[in-house]
Amino acid sequence: MKYSVILLLLVSLFSQARDGLAPTEEQIVRAVDANQQQALLMLERVVNINSGTMNFPGVRQVGDVFSAELDALGFRTAWVDGEAFNRAGHLVASSGNRGRRLLLIGHLDTVFEPDSKFQHYEVVDERYALGPGITDMKGGDVVMIHALRALKEAGVLGEMQIKIVMTGDEESRGRPHSIANKALIDAAAWADYAIGFEDGDGDPTTAVVSRRGSSGWQLRVSGKPAHSSQIFQESMGYGAVFEAARILDQFRIALSDVPNLTFNPALIIGGTDVEHDVDGSRGSAFGKKNVIAQTVTVSGDIRALSPQQLEMAQLKMQQIVSKNLAHTSAQLTFDIGYPPMAPSPGNEKILQLYNQVSEDLGYGAVAAVDPRRAGAADISFAAGFVDMAIDGLGLMGKGGHTVNEVADLHTLPQQTKRAALLFYRLNSFAATGVIND
């Protein structure tokens, strides 16, 4: 069936709800409203638990809170221990054995470790509340569970087949990645759809259907040490600093205008002797001003919108690195990081479904976030395995990763209703064969 015909059939199906939600959908909406206070109390409780990535007991404690909530909804829950990848672990839950397969993604950790001054939930006024991880992303986890509770009370949760993965290392990935990511990737390989509950760009009029990947790179440059008075001589060459400067500037010239591609040299150390602590993102150097620099190291990140774009950029960077100035050499290596969540027709389709849900609820249109405004996230590991993927469905606010992280509590029922009806319609309309033809 051609894509345009599919869209026409979807419009026809959705038009039935535009003059008012279907009776079951009205039940779901009422259940969200009835449980609003319970959701707010859950949010306050988990925000008040420190779960910085390296605070393993705190991450596990937040997981225990959500596990109990999911157990009460009839989910089968399990904790994936993180010892093998030096993190606390992940919460995994599943429910149902019929219907389309939905993967719901959240995370338990925050960037605020126990030594942070930012530790507690604080009500700002009747609309806003502050707290570590309140939007990134404990609020999103609460939206997810709040939506599932509404579906349970409306009597339709049992018609769905759902897996949940809440990771404990989203803010700082465990290593090796093959072990740290296994629970998420296994769930993605099982699923038809992946839905993430990050806060996107904090704007309830947007959702995320493409994210740039994020990985690291390291450049090590060597030159011939000698007295500085001999630099540029045929026998001595240009030294490591000039070669590093050439390489970095050629990166800028060749790639800075590529849409949605960025690369940032974040740390540079150069001189006669250099010590670079890659894991600690720090280093030191010794070099006298009258000696040609022998070594430069540079580390940074690279973000691309698709695997093809990333491959193109890496190839171009390697070509630049290989054309060395006299008596210098250079080596460029790349780390494996978050893959891109590339745009796709399926992702666009689920955005249209989500947009229709929002309009039927009276919340207005939802558009795609500019990928430059959406960082890497867990869903990036899942998106390549599923027919459709969408993220940014969590609690909205601003100031993420700062001590000014604030949530707009008015978006909690809104986001919950949108999510619950999206789950319901994905499952209901898939039964007609329209969505997946």
In a domain, 435, yes or no: no
42 and 130, same domain (yes or no): yes
CA-nearest of 358, 348, 364 to 422 is 358
Give 127-157 pLDDT, tens digit per residue: 999 999 999 999 999 999 999 999 999 999 9
Q: How far apart are CA 258 and CA 189, in angstroms?
A: 32
200 and 241, same domain (yes or no): no
Domain count of the chain? 2
CATH code (residue 229): 3.30.70.360
Range of the domain at 237: 215-334
Q: How far apart are CA 170 and CA 180, in angstroms?
A: 10
Domain boundary (334, 356, 391) is at 334
284-293, 320-329, 335-344: the lowest-pLDDT one: 335-344
Greatest CA separation for the chain: 85
154 and 69, same domain (yes or no): yes
10 and 25, same domain (yes or no): yes
Structural contact between residues 211 and 341, judged by C-beta atoms closer than 8 angstroms: yes
What is the bridge-based pairing of β-strands 273-277 and 367-368? unpaired
Give 217-241 pLDDT, tens digit per residue: 999 999 999 999 999 999 999 999 9
- Looking at residue 9, its pLDDT comes to 44
Domain boundary (334, 369, 387) is at 334
Q: How far apart are CA 88 and CA 49, in angstroms?
A: 15
243 and 154, same domain (yes or no): no
166 and 246, same domain (yes or no): no
Give 166-206 pLDDT, tens digit per residue: 999 999 999 999 999 999 999 999 999 999 999 999 999 99
| DSSP bridge pairs for 335 | none
162 and 38, same domain (yes or no): yes
In a domain, 118, yes or no: yes
Place 282 in a pLDDT band, splitting at 50, 70 and 90.
Answer: confident
Q: How far apart are CA 129 and CA 42, in angstroms?
A: 14
Residue 436 has pLDDT above 70, yes or no: no
In a domain, 437, yes or no: no
231 and 314, same domain (yes or no): yes
pTM for this prediction: 0.87
114 and 202, same domain (yes or no): yes
260 and 369, same domain (yes or no): no
157 and 98, same domain (yes or no): yes
- Looking at residue 437, its pLDDT comes to 44
- Looking at residue 18, its pLDDT comes to 44
Domain boundary (334, 362, 391) is at 334
Structural contact between residues 92 and 164, judged by C-beta atoms closer than 8 angstroms: yes
Average pLDDT along the chain: 93
CATH code (residue 32): 3.40.630.10
Task: State the Rg of the chain over Cα.
Answer: 25
Give 393-428 pLDDT, tens digit per residue: 999 999 999 999 999 999 999 999 999 999 999 998
199 and 116, same domain (yes or no): yes
Q: How far apart are CA 289 and CA 263, in angstroms?
A: 30
CA-nearest of 146, 152, 208 to 411 is 146
CA distances for 48 relative to 44, 60, 133, 307, angstroms: 6, 14, 10, 39
In a domain, 436, yes or no: no
| Structural tokens at position 241 | 């600093």
Per DSSP, 159 falls in state G
